[in-house]
Amino acid sequence: MIAVATASQKGGVGKTTVCINLAHALARRGWNTLVVDTDPQGGIGLSLSRSTRKRRGFYDFLQNGGEARPLILPTRLPELSIMPCGDSASFLSQGAKLDRSPERLRDLLRQLDLLRFDCVLLDTAAGLNGVSEIIVRGSEWVLIPQQAEPLAVRSLPLLLETLARFRADGTRTRVAGILLTMLSSQLDASLKVAREVRAMLPPSLLFQQAIPRDPLFLEASALGLPLSLIRKNPPPSALLFDQIAAELEERIGLPAHKDQTHRHASLLD
Ligand SMILES: Nc1ncnc2c1ncn2[C@@H]1O[C@H](COP(=O)(O)OP(=O)(O)O)[C@@H](O)[C@H]1O
Ligand SMILES: [Mg+2]
* pLDDT of 266 above 70: no
Model confidence at 268, in pLDDT bands (50, 70, 90)?
A: low
Give the whole-angstrom CA distance, residue 258 versus residue 111. Answer: 24
> By alpha-carbon position, which residue is closest to atom 26 of ligand 1?
218
Say which CATH architecture domain 2-268 belongs to.
3-Layer(aba) Sandwich (3.40)
For residue 214, the tally of other CB atoms under 10 A from its CB is 18
Pick the residue whose CA is nearest to atom 16 on ligand 1. Answer: 14
**Amino acid 151: pLDDT:** 87
**How many CA atoms lie less than 13 Å away from 75 in the CB half-sphere?**
24
Q: Taking the model in full, what pTM does it have?
A: 0.94
Rg (CA), the chain: 18
Q: How far is the CA of 146 from the centre of ligand 1 (A)?
A: 11
Strands 73-74 and 80-83: antiparallel
Reported as a single tens digit per residue, the pLDDT across 90-139 is 898 876 568 899 999 999 999 999 999 999 999 999 999 999 999 999 99
Q: Which residues contact 152 (CB under 8 A, 6 or more apart)?
A: 10, 13, 146, 193
- Span 182-221, pLDDT tens digits: 999 999 999 999 999 999 999 999 999 999 999 999 999 8
Biggest distance spanned by C-alpha atoms of the chain: 61
Q: Where are the domains of the chain?
A: 2-268
Of the listed ranges 32-36, 58-62, 78-82, 89-93, the least confidently predicted one is 89-93
For the Cβ of 22 lying below 6 angstroms from any atom of ligand 1, the answer is: no
| CA 268 / ligand 2 centre spacing (Å) | 42
